[in-house]
């Protein structure tokens, strides 16, 4: 590739060569994304899977639902990733009194000009952190739907495009339900991945304490040594490369067979929709490209099935009472459906 881009490098400068993308170009981009993981690791310990998931979501132009108990670095993870990618990020703390205009923006009357002026909301960013998204009413949650699906906001009959790239990283607390609202199925289906952030292992937790004892400040990423190693232009070029990853007819049929198996499971009330199959294809292509493959394989599909589908499957009430989990259902489907040779 040409010289590394900076946040101010025009995207066309990189995308102009995308038609002639070579294996060396792709290898350089993959190496840069691996450096992003290293940079994030300077601030976040023990969440390597979540870091990879967020990178996959960016490459596949999808949104991410982060589920984990308080204090497992969900917010810090998103902030650090944005810093390492030279991307703008804004955070919204979702509360019961949050209004749709607080997310998308509002028309403000300018007395001097004698007209209304639109003031952009925090959704006009590259990575929007929606903290505790299930604490706000459905009316405000639905304000995100157009932004997530169409990448635009409609104001006074006019559509305003959001910056590129744009993803929503929403956090949820799985153990506290008082004062929360169930996310609408239409909105859940817009999230490409649901990543579960567990409490770090003992050695990782000791490393967290060691860093804090040495003076680590999670609010000072530059002081922690986190550097920007990739720009929006290079990320756009990587997205273009991912879109060109191949897929054979057998693997596409395998994805469909997996989805159809979830719909016929006796424990499932609502299985994976066709949107879910296209989401799995997009995430699988990103994962295959990150691993240096030019075409997806069944192994790539199996690796991405749980994070892409775990929030799209609804269990029957009797299955929930018996303690059946969606992940267990999906693992069973992966074992039962014949893998193409």
Distance CA(46)–CA(124), nearest Å, equals: 30
Q: How far is CA 183 from CA 72, 87, 137, in A?
A: 22, 27, 9
Phi (first) and psi of residue 65, to 5 degrees: -105, 120
Distance CA(35)–CA(227), nearest Å, equals: 10
Mapped to the 3 state alphabet, what secondary structure does 21-83 carry? CCHHHHHHHHHHHHHHHHHHHCCCCCCHHHHHHHHHHHHCCCEEEEECCCCCCHHHHHHHHHH
Q: Which domains does the chain have, with CATH numbers?
A: 24-243 (3.40.50.300), 244-340 (1.10.8.80)
3-state class (DSSP) for residue 107: strand
The answer to whether 65 and 327 are in contact (CB under 8 A) is no
3-state class (DSSP) for residue 293: coil
**What region, left, alpha or beta, does residue 225 occupy, with left being phi > 0 and alpha being psi -120 to 50 degrees?**
left
Distance CA(62)–CA(192), nearest Å, equals: 5
Within 13 Å of residue 86, how many CA atoms lie on the same side as its CB?
Answer: 17
For every one of its 341 residues, what pLDDT tens digit does the chain have, with 9 covering 90 and above? 333 343 333 333 344 444 556 778 888 899 999 899 999 999 999 999 999 999 999 999 999 999 988 888 898 999 999 999 999 999 999 988 898 889 999 888 888 888 888 889 999 999 999 998 888 888 888 778 888 888 998 887 788 899 999 999 999 877 766 667 777 777 888 899 999 999 999 999 999 999 999 999 998 998 889 999 988 889 999 999 999 999 999 999 999 999 999 999 999 999 999 999 999 999 999 999 999 999 999 999 999 999 999 999 999 999 999 999 999 999 999 999 999 97
Distance CA(124)–CA(153), nearest Å, equals: 9
């Amino acid at each position: 590739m040409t010289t590394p881009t900076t946040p101010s490098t025009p995207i066309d400068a990189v995308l102009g060569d995308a038609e002639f993308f070579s294996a060396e170009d792709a290898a350089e981009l993959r190496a840069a994304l691996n450096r992003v993981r290293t940079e994030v690791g300077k601030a976040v310990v023990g969440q390597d899977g979540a870091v990879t998931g967020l990178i996959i979501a960016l490459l596949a132009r999808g949104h991410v639902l982060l589920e984990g108990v308080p204090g497992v670095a969900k917010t810090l993870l998103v902030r650090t990733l944005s810093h390492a990618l030279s991307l703008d990020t804004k955070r919204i703390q979702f509360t019961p009194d949050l209004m749709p205009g607080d997310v998308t923006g509002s028309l403000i009357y300018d007395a001097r000009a004698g007209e209304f002026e639109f003031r952009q909301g925090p959704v006009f960013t590259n990575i929007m952190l929606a903290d505790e998204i299930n604490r706000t009413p459905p009316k405000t949650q639905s304000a995100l739907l157009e932004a997530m699906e169409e990448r635009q906001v409609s104001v006074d009959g006019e559509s305003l495009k959001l910056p590129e790239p744009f993803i929503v990283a929403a956090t949820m607390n799985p153990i506290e339900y008082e004062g929360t609202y169930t996310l609408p199925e239409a909105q859940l289906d817009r999230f490409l991945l649901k990543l579960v952030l567990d409490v770090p292992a003992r050695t990782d937790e000791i490393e967290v304490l060691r860093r804090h004892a040495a003076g680590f400040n999670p609010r000072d990423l530059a002081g922690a040594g986190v550097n920007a190693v990739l720009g929006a232009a290079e990320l756009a070029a990587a997205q273009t490369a991912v879109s060109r990853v191949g897929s054979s007819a057998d693997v596409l049929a395998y994805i469909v067979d997996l989805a159809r198996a979830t719909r016929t499971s006796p424990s499932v009330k609502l299985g994976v929709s066709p949107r879910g199959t296209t989401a799995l294809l997009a995430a699988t292509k990103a994962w295959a490209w990150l691993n240096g493959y030019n075409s997806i394989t069944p192994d790539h599909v199996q690796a991405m099935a749980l994070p892409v589908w775990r929030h799209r499957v609804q269990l029957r009430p009797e299955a929930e009472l018996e303690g059946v989990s969606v992940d267990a259902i999906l693992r069973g489907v992966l074992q039962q459906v014949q893998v193409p040779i």
